[in-house]
Amino acid sequence: MSGFDWIVPVFLTVITAATPLVFAAIGELVSEKSGVLNLGVEGMMLVGAATGFIAVTVTGSYFLGVAAAAFAGAAMALLFGILTLSLMANQVATGLALTLFGVGLSALMGQDFVGVPVDALTKLNIPGLSDIPFLGPILFAQDALVYLSIIMVGVVGWFLYKTKAGLILRAVGDSHDAAHAIGYPVIAIRYLAVLFGGAMSGIGGAYLSLAYTPMWAENMTAGRGWIALALIVFATWKPGLVLLGAYMFGGITILQLHAQAAGLDVPSQFLSMLPYVATIVVLVLISKDQSRIRKHAPACIGRVFHPAA
Amino acid sequence: MWLKIEKRPEYSKGMVYATPLIALLLTVLSSIILFEVLGVNPMEALYQFFVAPLDSTYGFSELFVKATPLILCAIGLSVGFRANVWNIGAEGQLLMGAIFGSSLFIYYPETESVFLLPVMILMGAVGGAAWAAIPAVLKTRFNANEILTSLMLVYVAGLILSFLIHGSWRDPAGFNFPESQTFSDSADMPILIAGTRMHLGTLLALLAVLGTWIMMARTLIGFQVKVIGEAPRAGGYAGFSQKKIIWFSLLFSGALAGIAGISEVSGPIDQVVPVISPGYGFTAIIVAFLGRLHPAGIFFAGLLMALTYLGGETAQINLGLPLAVTGVFQGMVLFFLLASDVLIHYRFRWNFSTKAVS
Amino acid sequence: MKLKHISSLIGAVALAAGMLAGTAHAEDKVGFVYVGPVGDHGWTYRHDVGRKAIEEAFDGKVKTSAVENVKEGPDSERVIRKLASEGHKLIFTTSFGFMNPTLKVAKQFPDVKFEHATGYKRADNVSTYSARFYEGRYVVGKIAGKMTKTNVIGYVGSVAIPEVVRGINAMTLAARSVNPNVTVKVAWINSWYDPGKEGDAAKILIDQGADIILQHTDSPAPLQVAESRGVWAVGQASDMSKFAPKAQLTAIIDNWDKYYVERTKAVLDGTWKSQDIWGGLDTGMVELSPYNEAIPEDVVALAEEARKGIIDGSIHPFTGPFKKQDGSVGAAEGETLGDDVLLGMDWYVEGVEGQLPK
């Protein structure tokens, strides 16, 4: 390899590595914006990954697979919603319990599907455009879910900041009492946000089991749900930064592997630390401006709301 | 007709104690469905989960072995959670405590002194606290959110352990396998009941429970933590420093997690290995809330959580149920416990008007 | 999807019911402790295949139980002890990290036989067993050396323990014996199991010029990557050709079935004795799956020559002369490295790039 040939494949690898994080984080961001902290992302992703995989194996349809994954993720989120929104259980603990539950449930569902191959989600090849050197393969030859992930970031950004419904959702997350006083249905709005978060986590999981590494294996998310949660904090609750953060995290992970394969004389453990350390360092750099963070962070996050007060 | 949830004018003292029983009842009822579907006798399954693990002194002692790190971590975390300091990196602090604490033995294996173990425990606390000090600095000086920093540091701590144990900390006589030498008697935690693995760490956990109880109920710092957590503004007017509370709660939880780490390494594991904790630091977060952030509650929640893990092992051995079932079952138990707490502050009422309630 | 839920639940029911039915008449019990989930499709999965082989071989007269995902820290000792005290006559502990816990429990249960995989400590009632996977890798190296066009072979590493390093070296020696221009690039992912990262590492190695991918991690992800990128790969633990029908040159299969059945039989007969088995291609513990049809005949002949030579003892992968990576002598002309050197191998041979963590 010479010159800049290596850049294109690196980009392609980074895009695949970042996409499940983008899905899970952008969904959970909406949930958090409405004031609900759901730490069950890992569990919802796993159930989505298993369901999506099973649906594709049985029906052969990737559309149905992704839809089923979204549905399964949302079903998990609904469970979370009933517990935390209707029954006012603690969100942090319920989210963690949801992850335990999801790890088990997905393993139970998928036990007959271990070692079964499926074809990877096909990449769209836009004739002409995907042949453009350099930009073609990066911009015009991805699978449909990659485009969907980026579209979702745009849609969420537009929804939150440019629509009335988004304004209401943010109001609910910033001050549920005030929102309730004005007459907004706080709990119903939160339910919708949580369900959206679950559906996106489900799709993020399905991206793993259908496109990234098309297979089902127990616990295959390997902690990506936690990274997605961290990325929202990293992005200071701004949709665009979620995308940037996911690509940065994925990018550093890939580059450190490149450095290893190239024979860089640094213990691999230290190279493996880089994505985590870099995330902390960048967060520190962008956190100085307190007012900006306060503007975007939902003030009511994690707090129980009861309208009768 | 709607089922309406209504806030009680005052919280129900009876429900504080009744809700775990309600949760237990719900667990039993839904287990009947779960295990019937799985083709297992539900009563037998419940017996394997909740009774069989405790059928002997040894089984009972194992409950404490398993619960000790959970309780230590959860007690520390609960103080921070009360002050709205979201340390979710206890797992990393636990690992750092194990690393710091055992470094003394690793580098001076010949030491034979009654002071070795106490110093190791101290170093464990220092290691955990030092690792928690990083989020504290970043939070107080740079305003960086501790959820992210403490979580990321878990992975970093894991990789540091991996670096050491796959490198210079290997047992020189161990064919370069990733294990340290086993600890000498002076570096081992004393066993509390002969013939079991119940070790000094359990006593430390009990001390932490009692000490924290007193601290939160009787001391100024405990009062400050509660005020800052419930009403930061009021705390500010009273002259309490939010930064001081952030520092205190992170160092406190880090130190306890660190003690949990060294207790595991110099207690039941007896050497440094690549996997020191199966996620105790994360599970402790559930334990803290399950115990309603109260030391006594955490003590029982830790035991209960430990019991479900032990029960999962027994169920695998005696019923052939895969581990996945344990996860589903644990999730269910936790859901019921967390949800029935609603009854402490609220009550259900039938609302006969047709108007929907949000 | 709903239907699928139900059908997989029914599957679980059938499975659980089957296991229970087995208990009714069984007298002899064999226990297994696994480090990962059975569903990892790698290391643990292969041991579980061996467990099922026992159930089949003894026609339901022997009952097996397994506990999965047991962490190598404090949990393993309790699980092993539990299996011993519940009347299991023979217990297989299938990960290196279970070594000291196995020995501790074995001391307390002199009548129970233990088989520990990949360790080096034995006792009267503790055998050790392991497989010479490096022999398989040596055969694969002959193929890889001939099949590479870029002269770069990529290796996805888990963690740098002697077992993994030995495999890299054996493969490298074989590849360079047929093609001295070969270099080997290693990417360590610091995990045994993370399909995503394993796949990423494979992509990177291919981007850096590798046209053959080997792995010492559990999932088929690297093969899938090789398949989609149009390069060669070698399966790990199981025949993974389903995941990479074109790309898989062959697979190095862990086959514990025969050994597990034999040892169970020995316990039943009362002929079991403590031993140390390091089985290779000759015992069938290591197998190669059918060669890819795209491999030219002369290359297959070369591989077969190596395989047969290893089986009849005329070839040993670590016979000199060869150099270490730093240029010093690995083995002199005619010298063959002993098992003790192989067991603790922590250096690369010439031709491998990068540094091992020290």
Q: Where are the alpha helices (DSSP H) in C26-65?
A: 43-57
Best mutation target among B148, B242, B283 (most A Cβ atoms within 10 Å) is B148
Cβ pair B177:C160 closer than 8 A: no
Cβ pair A93:B328 closer than 8 A: no
pLDDT attached to residue C358: 62
pLDDT attached to residue B352: 66
Overall average pLDDT of the C89-96 stretch: 96
Overall average pLDDT of the A79-85 stretch: 96
pLDDT tens digits, residue range C233-265?
A: 999 999 999 999 999 999 999 999 999 999 999
**Long-range contact pairs involving C149-153 (C-beta distance under 8 Å, separation at least 24):** C149/C211, C150/C209, C150/C210, C150/C211, C151/C179, C151/C181, C151/C182, C151/C183, C152/C182, C152/C183, C152/C184, C152/C185, C152/C208, C152/C209, C152/C210, C152/C211, C153/C182, C153/C183, C153/C184, C153/C185, C153/C210, C153/C212, C153/C213, C153/C214
Cβ pair B151:A308 closer than 8 A: no
- CA nearest to B339 within chain A: A89
pLDDT attached to residue C336: 96
For residue B168, report the phi and psi dihedrals to the nearest 5 degrees. -70, -15
Fold entry, domain C136-250+287-343: Rossmann fold (3.40.50)
Residue-range domain boundaries for chain B: 1-40+323-358, 71-320
- For A63, residues 6+ apart whose C-beta sits below 8 A from its C-beta are none
- Judge whether B44 is closer than 8 Å to chain C, CB to CB: no
What residues of chain A lie within 8 A of the CB of B151, using their CB? 226, 229-230
Q: What is the pTM of this model?
A: 0.92
Count how many domains chain A has: 1
- Judge whether A267 is closer than 8 Å to chain C, CB to CB: yes
Is A66:A193 a contact under the CB 8 Å cutoff? no
How far apart are alpha carbons C208 and C185 in whole angstroms? 9
CB crowding C247-284: b at 16 or more within 10 Å, else e:
bbbbbbbbbbbebbbebbebbbeeebeeeeeebbbebb
pLDDT tens digits, residue range A227-255?
A: 999 999 999 999 999 999 999 999 999 99
- CA nearest to A279 within chain B: B152
Cβ pair B144:A283 closer than 8 A: yes
Greater confidence, A307 or B222?
B222
Cβ pair B338:A94 closer than 8 A: yes
Total length of chain C: 358
Cβ pair C97:B274 closer than 8 A: yes
Residue C357 has pLDDT above 80, yes or no: no
State whether the Cα torsion A274-B147-A24-C1 is positive or negative.
positive
Is A101:B327 a contact under the CB 8 Å cutoff? yes
DSSP tally for chain C: helices H, then strands E: 11, 14
Overall average pLDDT of the C340-356 stretch: 92
pLDDT tens digits, residue range A85-120?
A: 999 999 999 999 999 999 999 999 998 998 888 888
How far apart are alpha carbons A67 and A206 in whole angstroms? 9
pLDDT attached to residue B232: 81
How close, in Å, is residue C266 to chain B by CA atoms? Answer: 23
What residues of chain B lie within 8 A of the CB of C73, using their CB? 264, 268-269, 273, 275-278
Q: Which residue has the tokens 């990506």?
A: A224
How far apart are alpha carbons C85 and C64 in whole angstroms? 15
pLDDT attached to residue B354: 52
- For C306, residues 6+ apart whose C-beta sits below 8 A from its C-beta are C138, C139, C142, C174, C315
Q: Looking at chain A from residue 127 to 186, which residues have their Cβ under 8 Å from any Cβ of chain C?
A: none
pLDDT attached to residue A308: 59
| Residue closest to B134 by CA, chosen among B176, B163, B92, B170 | B92
Task: Please check whether residue A97 lies inside any domain of the structure.
Answer: yes
Q: Side chain identity at B285, as an amino acid letter?
A: I
Task: Please check whether residue A275 lies inside any domain of the structure.
Answer: no
Helix H or strand E segment including A231: helix A224-234
Mean pLDDT of chain A: 91
Cβ pair B151:A229 closer than 8 A: yes
Tokens of B267: 């207690």
Is A86:A50 a contact under the CB 8 Å cutoff? no
- CA nearest to A53 within chain C: C1
pLDDT attached to residue A4: 65
> Which of A79, A96, A276 minimises the CB distance to B156?
A276
Q: Looking at chain C from residue 14 to 43, which residues have their Cβ under 8 Å from any Cβ of chain A?
A: 15, 37-41
What residues of chain A lie within 8 A of the CB of C11, using their CB? 111-112
Report the interhelical angle of A239-261 vs C195-207 (nearest 10°): 60
pLDDT attached to residue B356: 46
Q: Subunits that touch chain C (at least 3 Cβ pairs < 8 angstroms)?
A: A, B
Tokens of C20: 């229970």
DSSP C355: -
Best mutation target among C34, C75, C100, C130 (most B Cβ atoms within 10 Å) is C75
Task: Please check whether residue A241 lies inside any domain of the structure.
Answer: no
> Which of C17, C69, C97 minimises the CB distance to B39?
C17
How far apart are alpha carbons A198 and A76 in whole angstroms? 7
How far apart are alpha carbons A230 and B311 in whole angstroms? 32
How close, in Å, is residue C314 to chain A by CA atoms? Answer: 35
> Which of B155, B328, B338 minimises the CB distance to A104?
B328
State whether the Cα torsion B134-B136-B142-B145 is positive or negative.
positive
ipTM over 0.85: yes
Residue-range domain boundaries for chain C: 2-131, 136-250+287-343
Task: Please count the other Cβ atoms lying within 10 Å of the Cβ belonging to residue B238.
Answer: 12
Structural domain for A80, as ranges: 7-224
What residues of chain B lie within 8 A of the CB of A290, using their CB? 143
Task: Please check whether residue A147 lies inside any domain of the structure.
Answer: yes
Residue C11 has pLDDT above 50, yes or no: no
Q: What's the per-residue H, E or C state across C164-221? A: HHHHHHHHHHHHHHHCCCCEEEEEECCCCCCHHHHHHHHHHHHHCCCCEEEECCCCCH
Greater confidence, C53 or A5?
C53
> Which of C191, C195, C228 minimises the CB distance to A217?
C195
Q: Which of A123-137, A202-216, B120-134, C140-154 has the lowest mean pLDDT?
A: A123-137
What residues of chain C lie within 8 A of the CB of A253, using their CB? 197, 200
Best mutation target among C71, C203, C205 (most A Cβ atoms within 10 Å) is C203
Residue A51 has pLDDT above 90, yes or no: yes
Q: Looking at chain A from residue 177 to 216, which residues have their Cβ under 8 Å from any Cβ of chain C?
A: 208, 212-215
- For B103, residues 6+ apart whose C-beta sits below 8 A from its C-beta are B123
Task: Please check whether residue A215 lies inside any domain of the structure.
Answer: yes
Is C146:C299 a contact under the CB 8 Å cutoff? yes
pLDDT band per the 50, 70, 90 thresholds, residue C16: very low
Best mutation target among B152, B165, B341 (most A Cβ atoms within 10 Å) is B152
- Judge whether C2 is closer than 8 Å to chain B, CB to CB: no
Residue A290 has pLDDT above 80, yes or no: no
Best mutation target among C6, C7, C82 (most B Cβ atoms within 10 Å) is C82
Residue A293 has pLDDT above 80, yes or no: no
Task: Please check whether residue A162 lies inside any domain of the structure.
Answer: yes
> CATH code for C2-131?
3.40.50.2300
Greater confidence, B4 or A191?
A191
How far apart are alpha carbons B131 and B100 in whole angstroms? 10
pLDDT attached to residue C7: 44
| Residue closest to C249 by CA, chosen among C143, C128, C150 | C143
Edge to edge, what strands does the sheet with C248-254 contain?
C183-188, C152-157, C212-215, C232-237, C248-254, C286-288
How far apart are alpha carbons C140 and C79 in whole angstroms? 37
- CA nearest to A68 within chain C: C1
What residues of chain B lie within 8 A of the CB of A93, using their CB? 285-286, 288-290, 334, 338
- Residue B351, by phi and psi: left (phi above 0), alpha (psi -120 to 50) or beta? beta
Residue C172 has pLDDT above 90, yes or no: yes
Spelled out in words, what is the top-level CATH class assigned to the domain B71-320? Answer: mainly alpha
Q: Looking at chain C from residue 83 to 122, which residues have their Cβ under 8 Å from any Cβ of chain B?
A: 83, 86, 96-97, 99-100, 120
Which segments of chain B have a pLDDT < 50? 356-358
